[in-house]
Amino acid sequence: MAGRGYTFRVARKASPARLVIALSVAAVLAVFLLYTSIAGGGNPSIAPSALKGRTAKVQLVGVVVGPVRGDSHAGGKHFRLRDIGGSRATGVPVVYSGSVPDLFKVGREIVVVGRLRNGVFVSEPGSMITKCPSKYAPKKNADDPA
Amino acid sequence: MPELGRAALLVTLGLVTYALVAGAAGAHLGRRRLAVSAQNALVAAFFSTLVASAVLLAALLRNDFSFTYVARTTSEALPTAYTISAFWGGQEGSLLLWLLFLTGFGAAAVRLNRQWARDLIVWVVPVFAGVAVFFSFLVVAVASPFATQVAPADGAGMTPSLQNPYMLAHPPLLYLGYVGLTVPFAFCLGALLAGRPDERWLIATRRWTLFAWAALGVGQLLGAHWAYVEVGWGGYYAWDPVENAALMPWLVATAFLHSVMIQEKRGMLRVWNVLLVLLAFSLSLFGTFLTRSGVVNSIHSFTQSSIGPWFLFFIALTVGVSLAIVFWRLAQLRSPTKLESPVSREAAFLYNNLLLLALCLAILWGVVYPLISEAVRGEAVVLGRSYYDFFLRIFGLPLLLLMGIGPLIAWRRASLTSLLTTFRWPTLVAAGTGVVLLFLGAGSSVPGLVAYTFSAFVVTSIAMEFARGTRARKALGASSWATAFSSLLGRNRRRYGGYVVHASIVFLAVGIAGSSAFDSVSEARLSRGESMTVGAYTLVYRSLDERQTANATQIRAQLEVSRGDRELGTLEAGKNAYTVEQQVSNEVGIRSDKLTGEDLFVIAEQIDPDGTVYFRVFVKPLVNLIWLAGLVFLLGSAIALWPDAREQRRLVARMREVGLPATR
Amino acid sequence: MTLALVLAAVLAVGCVVAVAFPFIKEPEPESDDLHEPDEEGRRRLELLEERDRSLAALKELEFEHRTGTVSDEDYRIALGPLRREAANALRALETEGRPLEERT
């Protein structure tokens, strides 16, 4: 291509510009790796039946089983959570504090973060997310943890 | 009538298959009539899809429940507007809408560009048709909107949460964006296949890409507003996989819009641009795969359907074929121009691309991480909000600053002295703003303060560009400042439209920083007569009202709001209990301050039988700048998109000079 | 039901006509070749695009100098090469042999 790429200075073989770009790419990657190694991964997402004996913080995904008792803003809401597609026997007791999304009710699929303590899954406040039952229904009910 | 719908879709499938085969044959063998015939087939496919869409729309409007789709998504009582929105409310209908937009875009892009890009068009047609074959196959064989049944007495109805005006605008806009990205993709592959890997495909698709990108951006902003006002959990973006599915292609498209400028002006980055377009298009397919397949846990839960594997297959096929074509033409794509200096506008655009892509990939990683960890460790691990927020800040803040730096650096290379001059005022204003804000207490959030400071830099830089440009035009002989300004815009639509869009991003950044880094929240359980304070506001809970509407019981807590000793009126917040659907929805109370853009956001979380209400109240400073940003964004995009007659004439004249007849 | 079938048939026929139209219109054409530019034509097109690009770059440099983004010194330094590029493009166009129509 005649005329293109002509510069008034002799073109250097190893352009400093290329080096800077390469360093920038490396910097971006470094940031990424640094973060993932320091902050660590997220929370494992498991079903209630897999909860036995695990005391680390996890995200529990399941179906609400009644009876539902208590006040999430005073002493906690008590209910059970069973596997999606599982039997009532797979249920674990959950005590939840914080904001409860509107769609919460018995039979609804929910996601809640917390840890197992003395056989009861104690939630992190405000971490409940409900899933909408119908096919194409976007609905957010997440309360971001403070 | 469903037979007509099914037949029309079969006709579409036949037409696009023909367009694919005949188009490829005509282009390869150089047969004019065959190529034109393929073009006609693509245009005709739009009309037959239109017929099918009309059939579905008619069935919806007359509540024909013999159509399974209509029965599943509407009911007799549903208001007409929402009945229309049910068209895209379900899987099959939304696929039909996608196909309609796709064939529409294809027909239009091919017809409008045939004058001056004929050697490209002959290859664009089969590529477009190829994509259309996939989607028409889906609606014909896998997810047909025209399945029939014995008509029940009434339909299942639409979830109350979808019955709002947002449902009318948000999905179609997103689809215009997703589907619109097919145009640059098809032209890119078409150019490679035609052996013309230079800038012509970029110029042909520039406005289409801009349009798709703008639609995707506005669609997302509408979604955020929907979440904020209607769903009312106190935020506007949750980094949900489905939200990210729209953000990722938008970020890549933003990078693309910038790097095309480099290719147009300097002939550089050809391979990069091809890969960007491919990535944007693949991400839009991937995004729709994510939302439909139920593969990742999302609040937007769509049922696990059989459509997932089809999409995966098509994405793999597209990526594979595209990469093969790129590899085949790699030698032609190499450009002789090199980057001259790391301090130049080209370099600034490159840094911009790098950051945008890094952010996109970080988000992509977060989205697929549960899938990967499940495959590797047997357990899905989900990354939380803090992950996304970190990367948004670390990549987003430098991006913000770059918007201000770009206009201040010359092309090719900028000397240090010239930089000192152009950077002077923006740096001073930014530093001054930073100091003032620090005194006002903005140091409580470092990222927030940085965002504000950078924003001041960018705003000053943009304002100076407008001022200097207007002054230059006035010096050239414009009759008045107003004429100078309008002629400036008229002659440099892309540049100044771009500056307006940058301004809108600044508003967005300031709005996000204010409402997330400097917000306050307070919770209290109140009985009638009791009060609570949040920030500078005091709220007194006066009474609880109950009203009946046609389909719901509305419970509202009435609050008196005051700030200091000024009374600000009443605000109500509460819940709606829908009788038929047996669902409760949150109805938040929002008071927007006209002067400061601040919102007082009240959620009546729990209403006890004795009338005590548990309130959660936010004060969100500057949040309304986010919505204002949307309007400014539209304005900027419109300016940049505006057709330029002079440019068109030049393009046609070039073809004529080479001896090619300008019309078919 | 029959109405649907009739409409479907009309649609199908219409589409077939649209697709076959180029062949119906010109059953024995003078030339069925795609009017693609030949090697010479392509080269000329490239040179035209080259010329337009260089001229646009000059215009932009001028504009940015006037608005102050490019300093006097930088303007002087950058002007030379850009002018040479534009001159090269115009010269190359002329030597292709065909008469050149100047366009601004």
| Number of helical H runs and strand E runs in chain B | 21, 10
Does one domain contain both A91 and A126? yes
Query: How far away is chain A from the Cα of C47, in angstroms, using its nearest Cα?
Result: 9
Scanning C72-91 for CB atoms below 8 A from B yields 73-74, 77-78
Checking if the pLDDT of B221 tops 60, the result is: yes
CATH of residue A122: 2.40.50.140
A2 shares contact with chain C (CB less than 8 Å)? yes
Query: How far away is chain A from the Cα of C10, in angstroms, using its nearest Cα?
Result: 35
Q: What local confidence, expressed as pLDDT, does residue C104 receive?
A: 42
Reported as a single tens digit per residue, the pLDDT across C62-90 is: 999 988 888 888 898 889 988 998 898 88
Average pLDDT over residues B355-380: 89
Q: Minimum mean pLDDT among B197-211, B256-270, B638-652, C37-51: which range? A: C37-51
Q: What local confidence, expressed as pLDDT, does residue B434 receive?
A: 95
Which residues are CB-neighbours of B552 under 8 A, at least 6 positions away?
A: B160, B576, B577, B578, B579
Residue A60's DSSP bridge partners are A46, A112
Q: What angle do CA B468, B473, B479 make, to 5 degrees?
A: 130
The answer to the question of residue A126 being in a domain is yes
Does one domain contain both A57 and A23? no
Does one domain contain both A11 and A78? no
Does one domain contain both A51 and A115? yes
Q: Where are the domains of chain B?
A: 1-163, 164-336+345-370, 520-620
Reported as a single tens digit per residue, the pLDDT across B228-285 is: 998 888 899 989 888 999 999 999 999 999 999 988 888 888 999 999 999 999 999 9
Does one domain contain both A49 and A29? no
Q: What local confidence, expressed as pLDDT, does residue B457 receive?
A: 96
Strands of the sheet with B552-563, listed across from one edge: B531-534, B537-548, B552-563, B566-578, B583-587
Chain A neighbors (3+ CB pairs < 8 Å): B, C
- For an interface test with B, give the residue of A46, A140, A141, A144 to mutate (most B CBs within 10 A): A140
* % of chain B exceeding 90 in pLDDT: 62
A6 shares contact with chain C (CB less than 8 Å)? yes
Q: What local confidence, expressed as pLDDT, does residue A138 receive?
A: 34
Longest dimension (CA), chain C: 80
Question: Is residue B365 helix, strand or coil?
Answer: helix
Q: Verify whether the Cβ–Cβ distance C8 to B3 is below 8 Å.
A: yes
Average pLDDT over residues A27-33: 83
The answer to the question of residue A52 being in a domain is yes
User: If we measure between CA atoms, which residue out of B591, B593, B393 comes closest to residue B509?
Assistant: B393
Reported as a single tens digit per residue, the pLDDT across B513-548 is: 999 999 999 999 999 999 999 989 999 999 999 999
Does one domain contain both A52 and A32? no
Reported as a single tens digit per residue, the pLDDT across C53-63 is: 888 889 899 99
Residue in C with minimal Cα distance to A6: C81
Residue in B with minimal Cα distance to C5: B4
Q: What local confidence, expressed as pLDDT, does residue B299 receive?
A: 56
Q: What local confidence, expressed as pLDDT, does residue B464 receive?
A: 94
Query: How far away is chain B from the Cα of C15, in angstroms, using its nearest Cα?
Result: 6
Structure tokens at B397: 């803040």
Average pLDDT over residues C6-27: 90
Query: How far away is chain C from the Cα of A15, in angstroms, using its nearest Cα?
Result: 19
The answer to the question of residue A9 being in a domain is yes
Q: What local confidence, expressed as pLDDT, does residue C94 receive?
A: 83
The whole-angstrom separation of Cα B367 and Cα B551 is 38
Q: What local confidence, expressed as pLDDT, does residue A40 receive?
A: 64
The answer to the question of residue A145 being in a domain is no
Does one domain contain both A115 and A68? yes
Q: Verify whether the Cβ–Cβ distance B18 to C48 is below 8 Å.
A: no
Residue in C with minimal Cα distance to A3: C85
The whole-angstrom separation of Cα C47 and Cα B622 is 52
Please report, for residues A64, A85, A123, B302, the alpha-carbon distance to residue A88 in angstroms, rounded to integers and kept in the order given.
10, 10, 20, 24
Does one domain contain both A95 and A54? yes
Beta strand pairing call for B537-548 and B531-534: antiparallel
Q: Domain range spanning residue A17?
A: 2-39
Cα B549 to chain centroid, rounded: 35
Does one domain contain both A88 and A53? yes
Q: Rounded mean pLDDT of chain B?
A: 90
Of C98 and B10, the one with more pLDDT = B10
ipTM score for this prediction:
0.86
Please report, for residues A71, A122, B91, C31, the alpha-carbon distance to residue A90 in angstroms, rounded to integers and kept in the order given.
24, 17, 32, 76
Q: What local confidence, expressed as pLDDT, does residue B449 receive?
A: 94
Amino acid at B283: L
Does one domain contain both A88 and A124? yes
Domain count, chain A: 2
Phi, psi of B89 (to 5 degrees): -80, -15
Q: What would be the CATH architecture of the domain defined by B520-620?
A: Sandwich (2.60)
The whole-angstrom separation of Cα C98 and Cα C47 is 12
Reported as a single tens digit per residue, the pLDDT across B157-215 is: 888 778 889 999 999 999 999 999 999 999 999 999 988 877 888 888 889 999 999 99
Checking if the pLDDT of A134 tops 60, the result is: no
The answer to the question of residue A144 being in a domain is no
Does one domain contain both A66 and A12? no
Which residues are CB-neighbours of A3 under 8 A, at least 6 positions away?
A: C50, C54, C84, C85, C86, C88, C89, C92
The whole-angstrom separation of Cα B28 and Cα B33 is 13
Query: Can you give the length of chain A in residues?
Result: 146
The answer to the question of residue A139 being in a domain is no
Chain C neighbors (3+ CB pairs < 8 Å): A, B
Q: Minimum mean pLDDT among B72-76, B125-129, B275-279: which range? A: B72-76
Does one domain contain both A32 and A94? no
